[in-house]
Structure 1
Amino acid sequence: MSKYDFGYNIEENRTNRWAFENVEVNSRVLELGPAGGTLTKSLYEKKKCHIDIVELDEQDGKLAAQYAEKAVVGTNGNLNLDYWYEVFSENRYDYIVALDVLEHLADPEHTLQKASKLLKPTGKILLSVPNVAHNAVIIELLQNRFTYGRLGLLDNTHIHFFAYESICQMLKNVGLYINKQEAVLKCVSDTELPSRYEDLGAELGHLLKQRKYGEVYQYLLELSFNSEQKTIDLLGNGQIKEPVYARILPDGESQNEISVEIQEGWNEVTVELPKDYLMKSIRFIPYEGSGIIEHLQIIGYGNSESEMSYNWTSAQKLGNESFFVHMGNHMNEMNYLINEEYSALKIKYRLVPFYGERELYAAECFQKEIVKSGKREEALQEKLRETDLVSKRKITDQKAEIESLRQDKILLKERIQKEMEENGRREEALRQDKTLLKEHFQTLQVLVEEIKHGKLWKIFDLIREVEK
């Protein structure tokens, strides 16, 4: 019995189960490399298919032949030769199945070309191929290793290796098209290789996890001649995503926590809030790691729609509703006050996570910035104290100056008053002098008149009057 005989329980083998599910009842099937006949038996017994097989291993071939109408086994079943093709050249099949076969062949493209000639115009080929570009192999290569094993990605009987684009090129050369593609996914630690993402460090390990098809262990492809049919893609990016969550704590309490799955890059999620619970605030933790949160926006939905603003944050604000968050320093929280009843929140932001050395460097820079900020704050406080003292001195000087001006004003007022009084006295004296002069002038006029009339004796009387 060969190392590829895994018994007859089809449920235990993902690849055989996939092929079984994709073959219609009562179909005409050619199975290349059936090993001990796990799939052959199920198709025969459960789907009443008519099956022919080609198997190099004679012992396995005899086991599988129990469920086949015609079997080419042993040296005649060598797919590197064309004898098997000559045997079945007149047949046309609804399905040709080749699971983990091509990597064992000297010229897999030639074998696939021959097999496609045995396919009905509407027939399909079910093909599974291991992915040599799996991250486990990449990690091995980055550590200068390429160790063959008994089974798996680096099976010691593999003589051809395939990655996604090389498979597509081979199919193009043969004239086949992918109708449906999916895969068996395995994370690095679940493969037979000793690889671990941790071997590369956190940052490079994270970058490797982002590789498209990086965790595809085996491609499962349904092929046909139909170039018009749009490919059904069940493969996606071929990655096993470790869930990352943001957290919402109503009133800051963890017992009412709401977790929301997020991803690197842009996120837009709607969160239903608990009914019959009047919360006064929410604590929002956008990412439980280190990184940048950009363009954060939270909109509350209730009787009205309104954008919410945080009243405090432990994260480092960068501007434009962007923040640096760092879980190690608990600097990843934003608190929002709720002034009305909301039934739901819409949360939008872009996550740029940091890993490994970048995370440590960012945390170190952030810590230095905190120290610098503290020193700047101390310097600012000292400057404020100095400014306060200068201001107090200026105020004291200004008060003294105002008091001096007030005293000068009082003195000036007193001096003006004295001058006015002096002027009043002078004016009174002048008035009296004026009155006296007027009287003298009148006396002189009388004297002149007396002289004119020769009354000199009266002159002496007037003189004596004046002298008095």
Structure 2
Amino acid sequence: MTNVERYNYAFDPEGDAWAARLLRRVPLDCTSILELGPGPGAMTRVLLARGHRVTVVENDPEALKVLRTLGAEVIEGNLDGTDWLDAIAGRRFDAVLACDLLEHLRNPEDLLRRLGAFLNPMGRLVISVPNIAYAGVVAAMRHGIFDYSEKGQLDSTHIRFFTRRSIEKTLLEGSWSPRAWEANRVPVEHSEFAWYWSALSGDLRQALLAGWQDFDVYQWMVVVTPTVDVSAWEVRDLRNAAEMLQSDFQALTVLHQTERASLLEHQKAFSEAKDIIGRLQSEIRELRAENDVVRSQKSAIEADLALRLREQEAHAASFLQRLRRLWSRG
């Protein structure tokens, strides 16, 4: 598998793929972007399609052939060295991308120290790195295995390894201030380490997971800004927070007005329903009263009929007796 094949992939820019989530950290109003180590340009294509002006730095010959067909400014250079710096000397960018790059460098600290000079004021650096503290790696090591592969967490071209704490320490020492973190969580059962994880006993898996919230973080993403811009960023963050609160307040106001109107409609409907129920209950009481009168009248008629029937039966019996006496005399 060539480097181009290894790192060439397609993704939905509006989806939940890790690359799409990384690119959402690049504001649409960023005019100029410096992308470091883009490979064959999976993310470069999306950036160009969005209208950004993109400069890429890459040293893989096969990837360079592909990149030169995309329309980006292409600089051939080894990011572990300085041969590419002259090509962008004196220039500044709105955003710099170093995604899945630092783990391939022998001296990522040197690169990070240099990048601040290429950012515009209020610019940002977006970084992503594999998390060597991923539970799958721990499970493999529990079996005594730390084997490199063509791609993934233990890609054979990875020569530096990071946890969240170690990349944060590296950034702070390079005068970068983290502004936002995001985790790419991958269930261990769906990773290349699934077998090693399943081979552990249930008790051991539970013991490993106890109190370990980030066990399934496959990669870390962090947006950083130069430490010298911290105050400006804090003001910007406060302004953005205030705008978001204002927007939320307006949305809640609209929602309140809508719900109040709906409540009034419900109250009106409830009042009307209550009136209807009251009328029906009154009609039911009247019908019950009429029914009671009818029953009373029925009982009186039945009693009167029974009395007349008894009187008629008695009269008939008396008439029969007189007939019998007359018959016996005759």
TM-score in terms of structure 2 length: 0.64
Question: Which residue of the partner structure matches residue 34 of structure 1?
Answer: 38
Q: Does 1:15 align with 2:18?
A: yes
- Aligned 8 A contact 2:140 2:197 in 1: no
- Aligned equivalents of 1:209 and 1:11: distance in 2? 33
Question: Which residue of the partner structure matches residue 215 of structure 1?
Answer: 216
- Aligned equivalents of 2:102 and 2:220: distance in 1? 12
- Aligned equivalents of 2:22 and 2:188: distance in 1? 25
Partner of 2:218, secondary structure, is strand
- After superposition, what is the alpha-carbon deviation per residue over 1:395-439, rounded to whole angstroms, capped at 9, x for unaligned? xxxxxxxxxxxxxxxxxxxxxxxxxxxxxxxxxxxxxxxxxxxxx
C-alpha change, 1:80 and 1:128, in structure 2 (3 Å) is same
Segment of structure 1 superposing worse, 197-206 or 103-112: 197-206
- Aligned equivalents of 1:208 and 1:64: distance in 2? 43
C-alpha change, 1:2 and 1:117, in structure 2 (3 Å) is farther
- Aligned 8 A contact 1:52 1:68 in 2: no
After the TM superposition, which residues 270-419 of structure 1 pair with which residues of structure 2 at under 5 Å, given as runs? Answer: none
- Aligned equivalents of 1:13 and 1:56: distance in 2? 29
Deviation at 1:62, TM superposition (A): 2.8
Question: Which residue of the partner structure matches residue 9 of structure 2?
Answer: 6
- Aligned equivalents of 1:193 and 1:148: distance in 2? 12
Q: Which runs of 5+ in 1 are unaligned?
A: 233-468
- Aligned equivalents of 2:61 and 2:140: distance in 1? 35
- Aligned equivalents of 1:108 and 1:126: distance in 2? 14
- Aligned equivalents of 2:71 and 2:125: distance in 1? 18
Question: Which residue of the partner structure matches residue 139 of structure 2?
Answer: 139
- After superposition, what is the alpha-carbon deviation per residue over 1:224-270, rounded to whole angstroms, capped at 9, x for unaligned? 1243557x9xxxxxxxxxxxxxxxxxxxxxxxxxxxxxxxxxxxxxx
- Aligned 8 A contact 1:189 1:196 in 2: no
- After superposition, what is the alpha-carbon deviation per residue over 1:371-399, rounded to whole angstroms, capped at 9, x for unaligned? xxxxxxxxxxxxxxxxxxxxxxxxxxxxx
Partner of 2:230, secondary structure, is coil
Partner of 1:3, secondary structure, is helix
- Aligned equivalents of 2:195 and 2:221: distance in 1? 24
Partner of 2:129, secondary structure, is strand
- After superposition, what is the alpha-carbon deviation per residue over 1:113-169, rounded to whole angstroms, capped at 9, x for unaligned? 122221122110011100011000011111111011111110011000111111011
Structure whose residues are more often helix by fraction: 2
- Aligned equivalents of 1:146 and 1:69: distance in 2? 38
- Alignment: residue pair count: 227
- Aligned equivalents of 1:171 and 1:38: distance in 2? 26
Question: Which residue of the partner structure matches residue 107 of structure 1?
Answer: 107
Q: Does 1:162 align with 2:162?
A: yes
- Aligned 8 A contact 2:48 2:72 in 1: no
Question: Which residue of the partner structure matches residue 65 of structure 2?
Answer: 62
- Aligned 8 A contact 2:11 2:20 in 1: no
- Aligned equivalents of 1:182 and 1:104: distance in 2? 21
Deviation at 1:13, TM superposition (A): 7.6
Partner of 2:6, secondary structure, is coil
- Aligned 8 A contact 2:12 2:20 in 1: no
TM-score in terms of structure 1 length: 0.46
Q: Which of 20, 27, 44 does residue 24 from structure 1 map onto? A: 27
- Aligned 8 A contact 2:139 2:193 in 1: no
- Aligned 8 A contact 2:11 2:17 in 1: no
After the TM superposition, which residues 457-468 of structure 1 pair with which residues of structure 2 at under 5 Å, given as runs? Answer: none
Amino acid paired to 2:117: K
CA RMSD of aligned residues (A): 2.1
- Aligned 8 A contact 2:131 2:220 in 1: yes
Partner of 1:83, secondary structure, is coil
Partner of 1:137, secondary structure, is helix
- Aligned 8 A contact 1:92 1:120 in 2: yes
- Aligned equivalents of 1:38 and 1:13: distance in 2? 15
Question: Which residue of the partner structure matches residue 45 of structure 1?
Answer: 49
After the TM superposition, which residues 138-287 of structure 1 pair with which residues of structure 2 at under 5 Å, given as runs? Answer: 138-210=138-210, 211-225=212-226, 226-228=229-231
Q: Which of 67, 72, 75 does residue 72 from structure 1 map onto? A: 75
Segment of structure 1 superposing worse, 152-161 or 218-227: 218-227
Partner of 1:227, secondary structure, is helix
Deviation at 1:53, TM superposition (A): 0.3
Deviation at 1:10, TM superposition (A): 4.1
- Aligned equivalents of 1:81 and 1:161: distance in 2? 19
Amino acid paired to 1:58: P
State the structure with more CA Rg. 1
Amino acid paired to 1:66: T
- Aligned equivalents of 1:201 and 1:185: distance in 2? 23
C-alpha change, 1:194 and 1:148, in structure 2 (3 Å) is farther
- After superposition, what is the alpha-carbon deviation per residue over 1:336-357, rounded to whole angstroms, capped at 9, x for unaligned? xxxxxxxxxxxxxxxxxxxxxx
- Aligned equivalents of 1:194 and 1:59: distance in 2? 32
Deviation at 1:79, TM superposition (A): 0.7
- Aligned equivalents of 2:73 and 2:209: distance in 1? 46
- Aligned 8 A contact 1:185 1:218 in 2: yes
C-alpha change, 1:92 and 1:144, in structure 2 (3 Å) is same
- Aligned equivalents of 2:63 and 2:72: distance in 1? 16
C-alpha change, 1:30 and 1:198, in structure 2 (3 Å) is same
- After superposition, what is the alpha-carbon deviation per residue over 1:309-366, rounded to whole angstroms, capped at 9, x for unaligned? xxxxxxxxxxxxxxxxxxxxxxxxxxxxxxxxxxxxxxxxxxxxxxxxxxxxxxxxxx
Partner of 1:167, secondary structure, is helix
- More contact order relative to length (CA 8 Å, sep ≥ 6): 2
Amino acid paired to 1:139: A
- After superposition, what is the alpha-carbon deviation per residue over 1:154-206, rounded to whole angstroms, capped at 9, x for unaligned? 00110001111110110011111111101110121111124444433222201
Amino acid paired to 1:37: G
- After superposition, what is the alpha-carbon deviation per residue over 1:8-28, rounded to whole angstroms, capped at 9, x for unaligned? 754678232123212223521
